[in-house]
Amino acid sequence: MSEFIKQKQIQNLTTDLAAKALDSQVVKKANNLSDVNAANARTNLDVYSKTEVQNMISGADNGFNVATIAERDALTGLKVSDRVFVSNDGDGKWGMYIVTAVTNGNGSTSTFEKVADEDAFSNALTKEAIKSSYESNANTNAFTDAEKTKVGHITVTQAVSLDTIESNLASTTTTANNALSTANSASTAATNAQNTANSASTAAANAQTAADAAQADADAAQTTANSALSTANSKEDLFTETREDFTNIIGEAGVPVNITLANDVAAGFEPLVYFNGLLVKTVTYSPGSPEISYTVPYVTETSDTVSVAYAYR
C-alpha cells in the first residue's frame, strides 16, 4: 500500500473519531459520567444506590442501651421505631422500650412503649401471677382462709341432704302452726261461749256444748301437733350416716371401678365418692345395694385413697 493511501486512511479515521466525539451516544471523560443514566446503569450492573443501602441498614443503628429510665428520657435525636434497652426500669429488672412518637426530636418529648420485660421471661409463672390470672376469670373467686374457718365450724361429718331436712322442717312447722292456729281459735270460741253462758243459762248450756266441742278440737289439734313433733324427732333415727375409706385399688383411667360397701345404700340418699379428697363426678349405685362404681380420668394406684360417704338404714 502506498504511503499516500495510508495517509488518506488515517485522515478519514481522524475525521470519524472527531465526529464520534460530538455524538450524544458517546460517554465523554469531561462529563465525569454525568451523561450516564444512573438508575439504568445500576440495574444493568446489579448494584444498589447509596440511598438503598442506607435504607437497608437503617435498623442497625437505631438501638440504645442505658442504665435507668432517667437516662432513657435524656436521649436526643430519637426517631420512631428506635429501641431503648433499660438495665433497671425502676424495679431492679431490665425492660425494652420502643419509640412510638417524637414531637421535637429529643427524648424528653418522645413517647415510649414497653415491648419486653424481665418478668415476662423469668417471673411469668409465679404462684402470685397464676392466682391472679386464675381468679380474673368469670365466676371464679378466691376461697380465703377466713371462709375456710367459717366452713370449719360445720360439725356434720357425714353426707346429708339439706334439701330433705329443710323440706321436713318446713312441713313440721306448717303442721305446728296450723295446730296452734286451731288451738287459738278454740280458745277464742271457749271464751265467747263462757261469756254467753254468763249472760243466760240457756245460752250457757249452749256455750258449754260449744266449749266442749272447741276443747275437743283443741285436743285433736294438740294430738296432731304431738304426732308431727314425734315424726320430726324420729327422722333422725330413720338412717345412719357413715364414711368408708378404701386403698389398694387398681383401676384404669376412664374405666368404672367397683367398690362393695359394708352396708346397703339407703334410698333417697346419694353416696359421695372422694378420690384423694377430690369429689368424683361420675358415680353409679343402686339404692338398697352395697355395690357402687366410680370413674375418674386417671389411673387408680394402690397408694390412692377412695372415700365413700353414704347413709344406710
Statement to judge: residues 204 and 253 lie in one domain: no
Residues 175 and 232 in one domain: yes
- Residue 30 identity (one-letter amino acid): A
How many domains does the chain contain in total? 4
Q: What integer is the mean pLDDT of 48-76?
A: 74
pLDDT digits (tens, 9 = 90+) for 110-158: 788 888 888 776 655 567 767 877 887 888 888 899 998 888 888 877 8
| Confidence (pLDDT) at 226 | 77
Residue 249 and residue 306 in contact, taking contact as beta carbons nearer than 8 Å: yes
The pTM for the full model equals 0.28
**Average pLDDT score over the chain:** 82
- Same domain, yes or no: 113 and 172: no
How is residue 261 written as a grid cell? 360397701
Least confident window among 26-40, 60-74, 214-228, 275-289: 26-40
Residue 140 belongs to a domain:
no
127 in a structural domain: no
- Stretch 207-221: mean pLDDT, rounded? 85
Q: What are phi and psi of 64, to 5 degrees?
A: -130, 150
Decide which of 105 and 92 is more confident: 92
Type of residue at 45: L
What are 255-296's pLDDT values in tens digits? 999 999 999 999 988 999 999 999 999 999 999 999 999 999
Query: Does a structural domain hold residue 138?
Result: no
Whether residue 274 is contained in a domain is answered as yes
Let me know whether 232 and 166 are in one domain. Answer: yes
- CA–CA dist 167, 161 (Å, integer): 10
User: Is 308 a member of any domain?
Assistant: yes
Domain boundary among 14, 39, 55: 55
Q: Are strands 63-68 and 83-88 parallel, antiparallel or unpaired?
A: parallel
- Domain end, chosen from 189, 221, 237, is at 237
Q: Do 224 and 253 have their domain in common?
A: no
**181 and 219 share one domain:** yes
Domain hosting residue 43, numbered range: 3-55
Q: Is pLDDT above 80 for 13? A: no
| Structural domain includes residue 72 | yes
pLDDT tier at 54 (50, 70, 90 boundaries)?
Answer: low
Domain boundary among 177, 202, 237: 237
Strand order of the sheet with strand 306-312? Answer: 240-246, 306-312, 272-275, 278-279
Task: Give the CATH number of the domain where residue 88 resides.
Answer: 2.40.240
Domain assignment present for residue 30? The answer is: yes
